[in-house]
Amino acid sequence: MLLKEVIKGLDILDTKGSLDIEIDNIQYDSRKVGKNDLFICVKGFTVDGHKFIDMAIEKGAKAFLVQEDIQRDGVTFIKVKNTREDMAKVADNFYNHPSQRFDVIGVTGTNGKTSITTFLNEILTSADNKVGLIGTIKISDGDKEIESNSTTPESRDLQDYFDQMINNGCKYCAMEVSSHALALNRVAQTKYKVGVFTNLTPDHLDFHKDLEDYRNAKEKLFYMTTNANVINIDDEGGKVIYENIKNLDTKCYTYAIDHEADFMAKDIKIEARGVSYKLVTPTYEEDIFVPVPGKFTVYNTLAVIAACYALEISKEIVLNGLKNTGGVAGRFEAISNETGISVIVDYAHTPDALENVIKTAREFVKNRIITVFGCGGDRDTTKRPLMGNIAQKLSDICIVTSDNPRTEDPERIINDILEGLDKSKENYKVVIDRKEAIKEAIEIAQKGDVILIAGKGHENYQIIGKVKHHFDDKEIANEFLQNK
């Protein structure tokens, strides 16, 4: 593609060199630059791409998108105000506006994104469609899957994935949209057929200045949709977003349990084997069963049903897909064993999510709940005492341990958690080593107990310092259950 077509629509401050040159690829990572590429010099939080210009020239780059005054002979420089923001537009141009060529469903909110996108993927695939998936656990382009490194990829990579999905015959893409991606313009230029809002609870307040800023970032998604928005109005953040967007030209559907909404669940029954409820929609009522326990499953499936309604997927396909779902890896995932102890692994890493999963376990536990959890390092510290308080209050025993400490001292993280605990009670323990904490929980467990191992879910690693070490809660639990 000619460079002048790649940069079409940018607010250009200055150019040096020819724009009538052929560009073979675009990159923002200097390690991936090849011959005849456009290298986008992004000023990141820790690395400045402008420092790698000479390296990129040596590797064959012919053009550079910059936000500094730079000149080298034989290559072209295009200066803009903010290269990170403009990377989305450049990528959308280069890949021929892929999100406009198939149906993208974006899901945002603190909790539930992975479950909703997984359910959508299962349902839409069951209707004989190829479906792409972008999220916390994995990215699927319709033919192959790769492990995901972040909830939402950088804009250049995102548009590349969209293009691959279309080339592979995908009709839809179900994707998680993080607040970071919205705030940092990773999803700018993406056209969403349907947008879904799940809920808003304190999280990522190390990045967002407060809860309002966090909500405002999430709200951006609903001005990027072409067909419909789906909003949880039982959630306070959802109510605010609904009021702000309800008069847009885009159709807005609401879902709720406790408030009158377009999609509602009534006569809810929660059991160990799953949830059942009476679904009420704008045009039909139906009895629902989903083999995933928890009130959060009711909310997640209401969102899925509403999104599919907006996409005009038949109710038979939707309801059958939910009834036969295999669940989501690391989301209230039971570990099969013969000890009479229920062991559940869950990704819950926010106060709201931890409260939800413990309350779900309380619905069917026959004896005690033992919760093993920690909090991630180099992340929002305000939620640590809140999660400690929730774990102690709702569990019979809680074991406080490490999660992904990253560059923080694990003891410091645990001390923050302990600030939320009632020290006069003796229903908690501190076991810093996560493997030993899981071992301790299984050793003290009795028949009829539920052990909830929270925080990491699908993750098969632990980050200590800046190094990823293999660590899988499910594998560790299985190891000790076999010796129980």
The per-residue pLDDT for range 224-270, each reduced to its tens digit, is 999 999 999 999 999 999 999 999 999 999 999 999 999 999 999 99
Residue ranges of the annotated binding site for meso-2,6-diaminopimelate are 379, 403-406, 455, 459
Higher pLDDT among residues 212 and 205, named by residue = 212
The predicted-structure confidence for 117-158, as pLDDT tens digits, reads as follows: 999 999 999 988 999 999 989 999 999 999 887 788 999 999
Please write the tens of the pLDDT for every residue from 54-70.
Answer: 999 999 999 999 999 99
Q: State the residue range of the domain holding 132.
A: 98-324
* C-alpha closest to that of 232 among 339, 116, 350, 319: 116
- Tell me which of 59, 75, 95 is where a domain ends: 95
Q: What is the pLDDT of residue 207?
A: 61
- Per DSSP, the three-state class of 412 is helix
Q: Quick one: 86 and 155 in the same domain? A: no
pLDDT in tens, 68-77: 999 899 999 9
DSSP letter string, 376-389: -TTS-STHHHHHHH
Angle (deg, nearest 10), helices 295-310 and 351-362: 110
Contact of 230 with 311, CB cutoff 8 Å: no
Give the helix/strand (H/E) hosting 132.
Answer: strand 130-134
Query: Does one domain contain both 279 and 176?
Result: yes
CATH of the domain at 313: 3.40.1190.10
Three-class DSSP category at 209? coil
Q: What is the mean pLDDT of the chain?
A: 95
Mean pLDDT is lowest, of 179-183, 256-260, 274-278, for 179-183
Rounded Cα gap, residues 383 and 396, in angstroms = 21
Q: Residue 206: pLDDT band by 50, 70, 90 thresholds?
A: low
The whole-number average pLDDT for the span 22-37 is: 96
Do 284 and 173 belong together in one domain?
yes
Are both 451 and 424 inside the same structural domain? yes
Q: Are residues 379 and 445 in the same domain?
A: yes
Give the Cα separation of 13 and 5 in Å (integer).
Answer: 17
Chain segment 376-393, per-residue pLDDT in tens: 999 989 999 999 999 999
Q: What single-letter DSSP state applies at residue 253?
A: E
| CATH (domain of 449) | 3.90.190.20
Same domain, 163 and 306: yes
Specify the number of domains making up the chain.
Answer: 3
Q: Tell me: do 345 and 230 sit in the same domain.
A: no
Measured between alpha carbons, how far is 441 from 429 in angstroms, rounded to an integer? 10
Indicate whether 211 and 290 sit together in one domain: yes
pTM of the model: 0.88
Q: List residues forming the annotated binding site for ATP.
A: 109-115
Residue 56 C-beta-side C-alpha neighbours within 13 Å: 29
Pick 321 or 484 by higher pLDDT: 321
Question: Is it the case that residue 329 has pLDDT exceeding 90?
Answer: no
Q: Is 229 helix (H, G, I), strand (E, B) or coil?
A: strand
Boundary (domain end) residue, out of 95, 111, 134: 95
Q: What does the DSSP assignment read for 331-361?
A: BSEEE--SSS-EEEEE---SHHHHHHHHHHH
Residues 87 and 103 in one domain: no
pLDDT of residue 208: 54
Q: Let me know whether 132 and 278 are in one domain.
A: yes
Q: Are residues 51 and 189 located together in one domain of the fold?
A: no
pLDDT tens digits, 359-378 = 999 988 999 999 999 999 99
Mark whether 444 and 389 lie in a shared domain.
yes
Residues 6+ apart with CB under 8 A from 330: 137, 345, 346, 347, 456, 457, 458, 459
Q: Which residues are annotated as a binding site?
A: 30, 109-115, 151-152, 178, 186, 379, 403-406, 455, 459
Q: What is the mean pLDDT of residues 412-426?
A: 97
CATH code (residue 37): 3.40.1390.10
Band (205; pLDDT cuts 50, 70, 90):
low
Q: Which residue, of 95, 130, 165, is where some domain finishes? A: 95
Distance CA 137, CA 100 (A): 25
**Cβ pair 108, 192 in contact under 8 A:** no
pLDDT on residue 448 = 95
Residue 315: per-residue pLDDT:
94
**Residue linked to tokens 């159709």:** 251
Phi/psi region, residue 340 (left: phi>0; alpha: psi -120 to 50; beta: rest), is left
Burial (Cβ within 10 Å: 0-12, 13-18, ≥19) of residue 392 = buried
Average pLDDT over residues 315-335: 92
